Amino acid sequence: MLLIAGAFEPELEALRRLFAERADVEFLLTGVGLVNAAISVSNRLKDSSDVQLLFVGSCGSYSDYFPLCSCVCVNAVCQADYLAATSRGHIPAASEETIDADPSLRAKLSALADEEAVASSTISIADDRDAAQALSEFSGAGVENLELFGLAKACKRSGVAWGALCAVTNYVGPGSGQQWRNNHVNAAQRTAEVLKQFVGSF
């Protein structure tokens, strides 16, 4: 069974239509943020962990290296925090973790995606260019997604393979919210086009 998870219903709509006849494909709406994602995925996997989980969604790019609406295969995810990134606080050592995507899913997604990158998950969205740069340097990530770390953590604890494909909707920093509003529909459609190939071979 392939479980396709997304935080925001418009990111799943096209995929639901594409795979409506596939009995081996299921969908999960996680809600926004890493806590909601962790809870939603944990609850779903408690009923049955005999799945592979694919997260789809939007991401912000920490630089303009990744074109808007390009699809990024996430190879690993970590947490990031502005206070820690600017040496005004720290993440406890017991909470520091980078979680790798499943190698098999990663290989299949990477072959179809435009780019590949490490992702970071934060609680807040950086609206300042200096904050975005600090978070990128601190985490070593190329893109940012709010849900992915919570989802990956839940999968790891349940022994479930996970992969992620995120479309770039904005550049992290000033104006990112408006960029997301301008691009999230086209980005979701681009993701659906890529995943049509992936699920077709699943």
Instruction: Tell me which DSSP letter residue 94 carries.
Output: G
Tell me the β-bridge partners of 163.
54
Distance of CA 89 to the CA centre of its chain: 25
Q: Supply the pLDDT for residue 49.
A: 73
Measured in residues, the chain has a length of 202
Instruction: Give 202's pLDDT tier (boundaries 50, 70, 90).
Output: low
pLDDT tens column, 46-81: 988 789 999 999 999 998 889 999 999 999 999 999
Q: Supply the pLDDT for residue 93.
A: 84
Show Cβ contacts of residue 46 under 8 Å, excluding neighbours closer than 6 positions: none
Domains of the chain by residue range: 2-200
Architecture of domain 2-200: 3-Layer(aba) Sandwich (3.40)
Q: Is 96 left (phi over 0), alpha (psi -120 to 50) or beta?
A: beta
pLDDT tens column, 86-136: 888 888 887 889 999 999 999 999 999 999 999 999 999 889 899 999 999
Residue 152: both structure tokens together? 């990956």
Query: Is the pLDDT at 155 greater than 70, yes or no?
Result: yes
* Cα–Cα nearest to 4, from 162, 188, 168, 187: 162
Alpha helices in 74-128 (DSSP H): 82-85, 103-112
Instruction: Give 12's pLDDT tier (boundaries 50, 70, 90).
Output: very high
